[in-house]
């Protein structure tokens, strides 16, 4: 079974803290994505990576950065967390042809 795992299911952080969200996939996929999910807005793409050390901005990259040092791991970084970054964060990793998308269970982040 393909698995996409995320380091935490729930996180509570304070404004200004640096936050790391980690995602790991075990199927040697090239592409990995970070989305955030908010009520009424669906899932919006923050960043994606199509290879090690390669990254591209998605639709809402402001306030975020990413790191992909190894193929299986894609990290989302909030340099200085703000309350408007309270959200559900989902990692995804599609099969290399794009026919199947695999999602992690999500991390629910609360920034106080």
Partner 1 sequence: AQSVTQLDSQVPVFEEAPVELRCNYSSSVSVYLFWYVQYPNQGLQLLLKYLSGSTLVKGINGFEAEFNKSQTSFHLRKPSVHISDTAEYFCAVSDLKAAGNKLTFGGGTRVLVKP
Q: Which residues bind partner 1 (CB under 8 A)?
A: 31, 33, 35, 40-45, 48-50, 56, 58-59, 90, 92, 94, 97-101, 103-106
Minimum CB distance to partner 1, residue 21 (Å): 15
Question: By C-beta, is 19 or 94 nearer to partner 1?
Answer: 94
Burial class (CB in 10 A: 0-12, 13-18, 19+), 73: middle
* Cβ nearer to partner 1, comparing 11 with 45: 45
Nearest-approach distance from CB 5 to partner 1, in angstroms = 12
Half-sphere exposure of 36 (CA within 13 A, CB side): 21
Comparison of 26 and 38: residue with beta carbon closer to partner 1: 38
DSSP bridge pairs for 46: none
Where does residue 63 fall: left (phi above 0), alpha (psi -120 to 50 degrees), or beta otherwise?
Answer: left
Partners of residue 90 on adjacent β-strands: 35
CB of 98 to partner 1, least distance (A): 3
Query: Cβ distance 23 to 102 under 8 Å?
Result: no
**How near is the Cβ of 17 to partner 1 at its closest, in Å?**
26
CB nearer partner 1, residue 26 or residue 79: 26
């Amino acid at each position: 079974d393909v698995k996409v795992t995320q380091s935490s299911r729930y996180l509570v952080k304070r404004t200004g803290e640096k936050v790391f969200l980690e995602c790991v996939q075990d199927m040697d996929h090239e592409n990995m994505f970070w989305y955030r999910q908010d009520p009424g807005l669906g899932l919006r793409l923050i960043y994606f990576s199509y290879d090690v050390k390669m990254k591209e901005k998605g639709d809402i990259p402001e306030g975020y950065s990413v790191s992909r040092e190894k193929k299986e791991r894609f990290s989302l970084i909030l340099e200085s967390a703000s309350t408007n970054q309270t959200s559900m964060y989902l990692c995804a990793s599609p099969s290399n042809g794009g026919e199947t998308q695999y999602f992690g269970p999500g991390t629910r982040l609360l920034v106080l």
